[in-house]
Structure 1
Amino acid sequence: MKKTYLIASLLAASLSTSAVNAGWADKLKEAVQDEEIQKTVLDTAKGSTSSGKTTNLSTETLINGLKEALEVGSKRAIEEISQPGGYLDNKNIRIPLPDGVDKVASILKKYGLEEQVNQFEESMNRAAEKAAPQATELIVGAVKEMSFEDAKKIYSGPDDAATQYFKDKTSSKLRTLFQPSVQESLGQVGATKYYNELAGQAKDIPFVGDKVNVDLDSYVTEEALNGLFTMLAAEEKKIRENPAARTTDLLKQVFN
């Protein structure tokens, strides 16, 4: 019901004062199959024509509420994955051994390389944690640039609609931003060293050495971005469904 009202308010707010007529209602029925939403849109729009503004919450309040929700949620997600263990200790986003390395990991361990394998996996995740704060500015910028049409789609979309918007608007820029940061972080936490040691020792193992060949910078960058968007989606769903996640007065006003 809350979602229905939000969708209806946004749709109704976009109408002119003369929009509520039989012709428009027919088009509404064609475009929106849900009878509850149809009725709520018409009622909300009629309320708007008599007072010159939408009932209860204004369009501006709704849009500002959505933007604040996304900004709060994205900052919270980025802060969480930036902490020590943000990737490493989260089974949903932990960066696994790359293809090739994972397939021969058990063999490498039998040859006395267990410590190097474990250090390598841990260091990749540490690198992602160090790079993650770089995302804040781009994600918040995408929130501020959001149009009214974007907001309507996000309100009426699935639980991860905003996350899909972020992917569309920021993936390419985030990749460009993340890669040099990841490369630097990989060096700082020793991932490059551990990988080179692993590859150097693995090359002498029959049928194994040629499989340990990875573009480490690109691999960790992509996995770090996947983890970021996974956490953004989790925060978005939390704000939509969990009152405790609505930490400001505006969020409570819009989503309650």
Structure 2
Amino acid sequence: MKQVLLIAVWLLAGSGAMAQINLNKVKQAIGTGSTSQLSTDEVAEGLKQALTTGATKGTDMVSQVDGYLKNPAIMIPFPPEIKRVEDRLRQIGMGGEVDKFVVALNRAAEDAAQEAKPIFVSAIKQMTIQDAWSILKGQDDAATVYLNRTTSAQLNEKFKPIIQSSLSKVNATEYYTNLITAYNKLPLVQKVNPNLDEYATGKAIDGLFVMVANEEKNIRQNPGARSTALLQKVFSAQK
């Protein structure tokens, strides 16, 4: 069990000189009996708690009103690949309509984000001991990368119909159709008709993972963000 503890703390601490310093401290603590044992099961469960906490907080934040719209890091803009459309429409006095569309686009993402939590929780429950060690050895966003890898396809499948429904509910589809129709009627312009549903779905999922990554980093670096005794026990071994 002492060997398990030493390995766990080394992995949590990282590599290099700092890891060696931390390892020496743990060896001394074990010799004096002043540290509690940290099992592989505790490490895995601690990671699951951290993932659940980060995913829940991240999802809750983006699913609120203005969760996307008022967050510069994840706000969904007018599709950049047709920026010329936005610029031309603003030039002819349709800036207000463009703004309404952008608001509606972000409202749709906020609406869809509520469905992410159960998908994340399901993926977290299936996390193996090997997954946990890989996350502990990884970067500050290693857990988010794991979630991205294991849930993206399901999120896309779940988000797309919700985005479609939400876009219609908040009139984004109507705004978009009107904007593109108005643009395509202008003389000497190249006609456009990009897929709004795919764009909105992709950006909504990207923004969700940005927020989950922020929460993961916070848990790793900020002791105050560790909301359970097990989280505190597992991540305090990094020091």
Per the TM superposition, whether the score is higher than 0.5 is yes
Aligned 8 A contact 1:131 1:182 in 2: yes
Structure of greater Rg: 1
Deviation of the 1:37 alpha carbon: 4.9
Deviation of the 1:103 alpha carbon: 2.2
Residues 203 and 11 of structure 1: CA distance in aligned 2, closer, same or farther (over 3 Å): same
Name the aligned partner's letter for residue 227 of structure 1: G
The 5 Å alignment of 1:112-127 reads: 112-127=93-108
Name the aligned partner's letter for residue 229 of structure 1: F
Match of 1:79 in 2: 60
Deviation of the 1:102 alpha carbon: 2.0
CA distance in 2 between counterparts of 1:199 and 1:209 reads 11
Report the 3-state secondary structure (helix = DSSP H, G, I; strand = E; otherwise coil) of the residue aligned with 1:106.
helix
Name the aligned partner's letter for residue 245 of structure 1: A
Match of 1:254 in 2: 234
Deviation string, structure 1 residues 138-175 (Cα, Å, up to 9, x no partner):
11111110000000000010001011111111111111
Aligned 8 A contact 1:7 1:156 in 2: no
User: Structure 1: which 5+ residue stretches go unaligned?
Assistant: 13-31, 48-53
| 2:159 corresponds to 1:195 | no
Aligned 8 A contact 2:40 2:129 in 1: no
CA distance in 1 between counterparts of 2:195 and 2:149 reads 25
Match of 2:127 in 1: 146
Report the 3-state secondary structure (helix = DSSP H, G, I; strand = E; otherwise coil) of the residue aligned with 1:112.
coil
Identity of aligned pairs, percent?
A: 40
TM-score, with length taken from structure 1:
0.79
| 2:46 corresponds to 1:65 | yes
CA distance in 1 between counterparts of 2:116 and 2:6 reads 29
TM-score, with length taken from structure 2:
0.85
Report the 3-state secondary structure (helix = DSSP H, G, I; strand = E; otherwise coil) of the residue aligned with 2:160.
helix
| 2:176 corresponds to 1:177 | no
Match of 1:167 in 2: 148
Q: Flag the structure with more relative contact order, 1 or 2, with Cα contacts below 8 A and sequence separation at least 6.
A: 2
Residues 87 and 6 of structure 1: CA distance in aligned 2, closer, same or farther (over 3 Å): farther
Q: Would you say how many aligned residue pairs link Structure 1 and Structure 2?
A: 224
Aligned 8 A contact 2:85 2:183 in 1: no
Residues 95 and 162 of structure 1: CA distance in aligned 2, closer, same or farther (over 3 Å): same
Aligned 8 A contact 2:159 2:201 in 1: yes
Deviation of the 1:250 alpha carbon: 2.0
Deviation of the 1:209 alpha carbon: 6.0
CA distance in 1 between counterparts of 2:224 and 2:207 reads 24
Deviation string, structure 1 residues 5-47 (Cα, Å, up to 9, x no partner):
98822789xxxxxxxxxxxxxxxxxxx9747657949x87xx7
